[in-house]
Chains A and B, each alone.
Chain A
């Protein structure tokens, strides 16, 4: 970004006033408060979380206080069926949502990349679900999916799917997770579309012209030019989706609260349940640590991907 040869070389030496020789102290002081805030903000709660996860500490039994128990909570996790169940639900939920959203988002981006009138308007309108806060959409879908009398149940009944209507979409373990996945896809697809569209816009028109001159048909253009060139944008958005969906909480919390039974109880909801609702801080913390470690690994891979591309 900053290159060595620039008109700066001809500036008179004005000491502290010259940005090249500016006081080191000033430079550092400008950044220090934010750096301290960010680093302290990472270390303090993370360290406290880690420590709590190695203690027995329940706020419903304040008389027992907080006692250090080493890795006992983690040993307990390994034997906790509900933990395994939430791990597997989180995996299903994350993989299904990310795949559907990515395929759909790429398709929409391609479908809206035609250079015909109205394209920009349609793309703008499609952003609205994405810009609507998840907690609002959570309420809204819970309302629309109300058993029997909700608008979706009525439409399904009209179309002849009585069985689903009567069992209720969010009230049945079979359909609840599917509904949760679809709602997250609905909410996230515009984001994928946006990132992939950004990638599509960087492909030079000449490539297509040249290929057409060589007699390529539309599928060949898609297969050999478009898809390889948006691969990076698709990869970025898939990673982002994975990260977002892995930590998704509020729409599930509002729509089903993890139920019915524990059929939609992802890790984020389970740790909330244990730590905040039943106030078992120690055990809840160990679940949160697992969640954080997984998120951290995915984040590092993503960060490396971004940084390697930026160089």
Chain B
């Protein structure tokens, strides 16, 4: 490639980065501005000195702390539930073809169902069974919507382990559960890491179900952020700070498992 050509490419890349990353940049700098600076004319491109008042405000708000706790609990319990249900199922499907291709198709399709279309029946069910505004409801739903993807990815990882390794362990007297715990899981550790991140993504970022099914008690962070907006006076700085806090761990985790993202996205086409 000629030098001029190369420079042109770099110029185009720079342009792309500016266009695509400006909104993210704006979110981050807004979180370090005072309320008075948010809509200054002309805009303040870089706040100096940066203020931490939005973050301080956020952490002194009991509602925010409560919803942060809710989000963490719900994401954690969902992860455990998915592991408990998903790992044995994936093992059984990968090793013994239990369920066959029909179940694989069901799982694949379940992953594609739009949660939004289920808001109304779930709302009605939650009200009827006294499950409205309960952590358990969200855990059950997130487990349901996360499980198909988890199983799909895990089947791929487990199938890649040669049977002989397990056979050897079983001749040595290990039980089936023992083999899964001591042989299979350690071998698919990198795969487990990316499944974990996808599961966290599902529950941590979920909005439509949470906004429909929770009120004061079980409200998650995204829903609490939404309540900032519905007030007459929108606390943009605080909202931006909450956005930065909520997005940072996910973005970092996502970038770490980059090579598995495509697989999660198309649900196992690379297999």
Q: Which of B48-56, B62-70, B186-194, B261-269 contacts the other chain? A: B261-269
**Known A-B contacts A151-B43, A275-B120; A38 and B110 likewise in contact (beta carbons under 8 Å):** yes
CA distance A44 to B125 in the complex (A): 10
**Known A-B contacts A8-B167, A186-B20, A306-B266; A243 and B112 likewise in contact (beta carbons under 8 Å):** yes
The reply to whether B246 and A136 contact each other, CB–CB distance below 8 Å, is yes
CA distance A112 to B26 in the complex (A): 25
Residues of A within 8 A of B118 (CB): 45-46, 49, 288
Chain B CB within 10 Å, residue with most, of A237, A250, A253: A250
Residues of A within 8 A of B12 (CB): 111
Q: Is B4 an interface residue (CB 8 A)?
A: no
Size category, A interface: 35 or more
CB distance from B213 to the nearest CB of A (A): 10
Q: Is A48 an interface residue (CB 8 A)?
A: yes
Residues of B within 8 A of A136 (CB): 27, 225, 243, 246-247
Q: Is A7 an interface residue (CB 8 A)?
A: yes
CB distance from B21 to the nearest CB of A (A): 6
Q: Is A204 an interface residue (CB 8 A)?
A: no
Within 8 A of B (CB), among A161-189: 186, 189
CB distance from A229 to the nearest CB of B (A): 15
Residues of A within 8 A of B42 (CB): 154
CA distance A82 to B106 in the complex (A): 34
Within 8 A of A (CB), among B64-117: 85-86, 88-89, 91-93, 95-96, 98-99, 101, 103, 105-110, 112-117
Residues of B within 8 A of A151 (CB): 26, 43
CA distance A289 to B17 in the complex (A): 41
| Binary per-residue interface labels of chain B (249-271) against chain A in the complex, 1 for a CB within 8 Å, 0 otherwise | 01100110010011001110111
| Binary per-residue interface labels of chain B (8-50) against chain A in the complex, 1 for a CB within 8 Å, 0 otherwise | 0110110011001101101100100000000101110000000
Residues of A within 8 A of B108 (CB): 303, 306-307
The reply to whether B92 and A30 contact each other, CB–CB distance below 8 Å, is yes
Residues of B within 8 A of A144 (CB): 23, 26
Residues of A within 8 A of B137 (CB): none
| Binary per-residue interface labels of chain A (57-101) against chain B in the complex, 1 for a CB within 8 Å, 0 otherwise | 001000000000000000000000000000000000000000000
CB distance from B203 to the nearest CB of A (A): 11
Q: Is B229 an interface residue (CB 8 A)?
A: yes
The reply to whether A52 and B124 contact each other, CB–CB distance below 8 Å, is yes
CA distance A13 to B204 in the complex (A): 48
Choose from A11, A45, A126, A309 the contact partner of B122 (Cβ within 8 Å).
A45
Residues of A within 8 A of B205 (CB): 133-135
CA distance A284 to B118 in the complex (A): 11
Interface residues of A (CB under 8 A from B): 1-2, 6-8, 11-12, 14, 17-19, 22, 26-28, 30-31, 33-35, 37-39, 41-42, 44-46, 48-49, 52, 59, 108, 111-112, 114, 116, 118, 122, 124-129, 131-137, 139-144, 146, 149-151, 154, 186, 189-191, 194-195, 198, 236-237, 240, 243, 246-247, 249-250, 253-254, 268, 271-272, 275-276, 281, 284-285, 288-289, 291-292, 295-296, 299-300, 302-303, 306-307, 309-310
What would 16 A/B residue contacts be, using CB atoms closer than 8 Å? A7-B164, A19-B163, A27-B96, A31-B93, A31-B98, A31-B99, A48-B121, A49-B118, A52-B124, A116-B1, A125-B17, A135-B226, A154-B41, A247-B116, A285-B121, A296-B109
Interface residues of B (CB under 8 A from A): 1, 6, 9-10, 12-13, 16-17, 20-21, 23-24, 26-27, 30, 39, 41-43, 85-86, 88-89, 91-93, 95-96, 98-99, 101, 103, 105-110, 112-125, 127, 143-144, 147-148, 151, 159, 163-164, 166-167, 170-171, 173, 176, 204-205, 207-208, 212, 222, 225-226, 229, 236, 239-240, 243, 246-247, 250-251, 254-255, 258, 261-262, 265-267, 269-271
Other A-B pairs beyond A154-B42, A191-B265, A288-B120, 4, CB < 8 Å: A17-B170, A44-B125, A125-B17, A249-B207
